[in-house]
């Protein structure tokens, strides 16, 4: 999402505000009272109260929460056209593999995640992050077909909510780690960093037997698409400073602050 995606509820539903059409395709706006979801650019006759507005990463996530599509802005048709365009790109087209999506609003979220047919986590993306594409588009590019199935996402949702509440410090759910041997080795090394602790790029590279490969480790770290669970937020610069994090350093700082509070509590 762009920086504009961090706008407040008031900004999104203010009838006098400038158009937020640039957010179409990155976020879905739902209304608790009407149980309807819309594109951010939709302008219904009656504005919902700010406290009744909720956000979703996609139409599939909104439907999973029991909402139905708006008949004014037709969000499903809009997303279908976007997905068709992505599938026709020079990257991977859909292969029929399903990715079942769900969202969590609890701090240190909000974020969306997706699991495969076996319940293995394949993607996680923060809803207030700065990403080039929505999670739906990313999954489509990787050959998945976004879908919803609360039974399939139940285990991942339970463990993620336990992390958010401070009740869980290590994950046991299966992970779909797809990459080169080096990338997978780096991601697995990240999962071995204890909750609330940090390591430098050099330290992780050394632990993998390549002490001079700090930059290569950093590149592999940047390709991690399951943040939080594969905790790339535990990696810091040689000075201890927070460095690159897909979606924005504000998310990395928030995750580390959350874990520090849990340990202190």
Predicted TM-score of the model (pTM): 0.66
Residue 26 has, within 13 A of its CA and on its CB side, a CA count of 20
**Residue of 38, 42, 164, 232 with catalytic role:** 232
The closest alpha carbon to 197, from 121, 255, 265, belongs to 255
Question: Residue 172 domain-assigned?
Answer: no
Distance CA 85, CA 264 (A): 48
CA 4: distance to chain centroid? 17
Question: Residue 110 domain-assigned?
Answer: yes
Pick from 114, 130, 165: which residue ends a domain?
A: 165
CATH number at residue 42: 3.40.10.10
Q: In what order do the strands lie in the sheet with 28-31?
A: 53-56, 28-31, 36-38, 68-69
**Hey, CA dihedral for 54, 56, 59, 63, is it positive or negative?**
negative
CA dihedral 231, 60, 81, 30 (to 10 degrees): -100
Give residue-wise pLDDT tens across range 115-168: 999 999 999 999 888 888 888 888 988 888 888 888 999 999 999 999 999 999
Both 28 and 100 in one domain: the answer is: no
Both 76 and 109 in one domain: the answer is: no
The count of domains in the chain is 3
What's residue 117's pLDDT?
92
Low-confidence ranges of the chain (pLDDT < 70): 1-22, 80-96
Question: Residue 174 domain-assigned?
Answer: no
What's residue 230's pLDDT?
97
CATH number at residue 226: 1.10.10.10
What's residue 4's pLDDT?
36
Both 8 and 65 in one domain: the answer is: yes
Question: Residue 175 domain-assigned?
Answer: no
Q: Which domain holds residue 224?
A: 181-264
- Known catalytic residue: 42? no
């Amino acid at each position: 999402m762009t920086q504009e995606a961090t706008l407040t509820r008031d900004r999104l539903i203010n009838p006098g505000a400038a158009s937020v059409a640039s957010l179409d395709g990155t976020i879905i706006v739902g209304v608790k009272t009407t149980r309807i979801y819309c594109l951010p650019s939709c302008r219904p006759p009656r504005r919902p109260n700010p406290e009744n507005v909720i956000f979703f990463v996609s139409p599939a996530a909104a439907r999973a929460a029991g909402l139905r599509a708006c008949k004014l802005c037709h969000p499903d048709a809009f997303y279908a056209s976007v997905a068709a365009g992505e599938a026709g790109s020079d990257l991977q087209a859909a292969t029929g593999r399903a990715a079942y999506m769900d969202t969590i609003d609890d701090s240190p979220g909000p974020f969306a995640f997706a699991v495969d047919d076996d319940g293995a986590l394949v993607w996680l993306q923060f809803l207030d992050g700065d990403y080039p594409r929505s999670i739906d588009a990313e999954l489509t590019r990787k050959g998945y077909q976004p879908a919803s199935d609360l039974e399939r996402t139940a285990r991942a949702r339970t463990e993620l909510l336990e992390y958010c509440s401070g009740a869980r410090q290590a994950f046991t759910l299966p992970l779909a780690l797809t990459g080169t041997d080096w990338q997978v080795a780096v991601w697995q090394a990240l999962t071995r960093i204890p909750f609330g602790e940090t390591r430098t790029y050099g330290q992780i590279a050394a632990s993998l037997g390549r002490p001079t490969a700090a930059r290569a480790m950093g590149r592999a770290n940047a390709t991690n698409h399951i943040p939080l669970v594969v905790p790339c937020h535990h990696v810091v610069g040689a000075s201890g400073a927070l460095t690159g994090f897909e979606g924005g350093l504000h998310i990395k700082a928030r995750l580390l602050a959350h874990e520090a509070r849990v340990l202190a509590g």
